[in-house]
Amino acid sequence: AQEKFITVASTTSTEQSGLFGHLLPLFTAKTGIEVRVVAQGTGQALDTGRRGDADVDIGRWYRAGR
How much is the CA Rg of the chain, to the nearest whole Å? 13
Please write the tens of the pLDDT for every residue from 6-36: 999 999 988 999 999 999 999 999 999 999 9
Q: How much of the chain is in helix, strand and coil states, percent to nearest 5?
A: 40, 25, 35
Q: What is the pLDDT of residue 58?
A: 86
9 within 8 A of 38, measured Cβ to Cβ? yes
Residue 64's pLDDT band (cuts 50, 70, 90): low
31-45 average pLDDT score: 94
| pTM, entire model | 0.81
Q: What is the pLDDT of residue 59?
A: 73
